[in-house]
């Protein structure tokens, strides 16, 4: 791997809570190269969100080291290295879709004409051309989530952090968004970190799958995908796909992930 975009070395994070310490991340070491699509899968509480939040400098590890674009996460945050997409689209209902996407650009002080140009470009990227003047409640859940991805793309961060962005959507919509996300990734070359609970989603999207296990939150397997980058949805019926899915399932089982 060339210089990794994200490099975690023996990362530890212990939360101090009223019930005692919670070991959210234990000895997590991982390098992620430019343009990779890496999914994090594991049961509730295994530290997937915490890892993403460390990359985003929203949490600070209590041990080990972490660099993002060769900088500390805090410096990378200042440099606006990443866009963050959450499970809930989190759009302001009183702003139009374009207004929501424009918000970070306004905060960052982009000139007005450039704001408009960028909003139009990312609306096009997520196939929402013509919906800029609508309000969030006028759009379906899947469209809202695409708008939230557009917002994360608007300021050209080269890293996209996505925490279960499609978790609340039904399977058909989710399939469609998975296809669109892959196309978007191919077009933009972003480095993507994607949290999911779904084995098929992880296998379909990723160049690499990180399997995690809780108590303490740790990596139990890292699987390189041999699948081609061009992936029609029916690739999920192929032997190669099912083989990776099987290995992910085994990884989850080995971590005693579903014992409780
Ligand atoms: N701010 C916090 N203070 C205390 N404990 C926390 C905090 N944030 C997370 N934790 C704990 O750290 C552990 C890892 O949480 P995290 O949210 O990263 O898991 P996850 O794998 O993303 O789970 P889920 O799939 O449910 O989102 C959990 O035990 C959680 O309760």
Please report the pLDDT score of residue 58 as a whole number.
Answer: 95
Report angle CA 30, 44, 11 to the nearest 5 degrees: 25
Please report the pLDDT score of residue 257 as a whole number.
Answer: 45
Most ligand 1 atoms within 8 A of CB, residue of 16, 22, 55, 218 to mutate: 22
Task: Report the complex ipTM.
Answer: 0.96
Please report the pLDDT score of residue 260 as a whole number.
Answer: 45
Quote the pTM value: 0.92
* 52 Cβ neighbours under 8 A, 6+ residues apart: 40, 84, 161, 163, 193, 195
Domain locations in the chain as residue ranges: 6-81+158-254, 91-156
Most ligand 1 atoms within 8 A of CB, residue of 17, 21, 43, 45 to mutate: 45
Is the beta carbon of 218 within 6 A of some atom in ligand 1? no
27 vs 9: CA distance, rounded Å? 8
147 vs 139: CA distance, rounded Å? 10
With CA atoms as reference, report the closest residue to 122 among 89, 158, 150: 150
Is the beta carbon of 90 within 6 A of some atom in ligand 1? no
Is the beta carbon of 18 within 6 A of some atom in ligand 1? no
Nearest CA to ligand 1 atom 12: 24
Most ligand 1 atoms within 8 A of CB, residue of 40, 47, 216 to mutate: 47
Please report the pLDDT score of residue 259 as a whole number.
Answer: 47
Architecture of domain 6-81+158-254: 3-Layer(aba) Sandwich (3.40)
Please report the pLDDT score of residue 256 as a whole number.
Answer: 64
Joined together, the tokens standing for residue 74 give 């805090």
136 vs 101: CA distance, rounded Å? 11
Please report the pLDDT score of residue 254 as a whole number.
Answer: 79
Q: Which residues of the chain have pLDDT under 70?
A: 1-2, 256-260
Is the beta carbon of 167 within 6 A of some atom in ligand 1? no
List, in sequence order, every beta strand (DSSP E) within 69-126. Answer: 82-85
Is the beta carbon of 45 within 6 A of some atom in ligand 1? yes
Please report the pLDDT score of residue 177 as a whole number.
Answer: 86
* 104 Cβ neighbours under 8 A, 6+ residues apart: 151, 154, 155
- Buried b vs exposed e over 82-97: b needs ≥16 C-beta within 10 Å? bbbbbbebebeeeebb
Cα 244 to middle of ligand 1, angstroms: 27
Report angle CA 109, 113, 114 to the nearest 5 degrees: 60
Sheet holding 191-196, edge to edge: 82-85, 159-163, 191-196, 37-41, 208-213, 218-224
């Amino acid at each position: 791997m060339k210089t990794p975009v994200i490099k975690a070395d023996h990362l530890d994070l212990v939360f101090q809570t009223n019930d005692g310490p919670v070991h959210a991340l234990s000895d997590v070491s991982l390098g992620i190269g430019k343009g990779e699509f890496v999914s994090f899968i594991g049961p509730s509480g295994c530290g997937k969100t915490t890892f993403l939040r460390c990359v985003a400098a929203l949490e600070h590890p209590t041990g080990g080291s972490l660099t993002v674009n060769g900088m500390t996460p805090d410096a990378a945050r200042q440099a606006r290295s990443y866009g963050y997409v959450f499970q809930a689209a989190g759009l302001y209902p009183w702003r139009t879709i374009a207004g929501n996407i424009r918000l970070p650009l306004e905060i960052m002080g982009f000139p007005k004409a450039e704001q408009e140009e960028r909003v139009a470009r990312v609306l096009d990227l997520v196939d929402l051309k013509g919906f800029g003047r609508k309000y969030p409640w006028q759009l379906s859940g899947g469209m809202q989530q695409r708008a939230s991805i557009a917002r994360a793309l608007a300021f050209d961060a080269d890293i996209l952090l996505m925490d279960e962005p499609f978790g609340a959507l039904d399977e058909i919509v989710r399939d469609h968004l998975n296809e669109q996300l892959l196309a978007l990734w191919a077009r933009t070359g972003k480095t993507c970190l994607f949290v999911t609970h779904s084995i098929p989603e992880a296998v379909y999207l990723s160049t690499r799958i990180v399997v995690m296990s809780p108590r303490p939150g740790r990596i139990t397997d890292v699987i390189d995908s041999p699948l081609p980058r061009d992936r029609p949805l029916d690739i999920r019926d192929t032997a190669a796909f099912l083989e990776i899915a099987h290995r992910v399932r085994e990884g989850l089982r080995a971590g005693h992930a579903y014992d409780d």
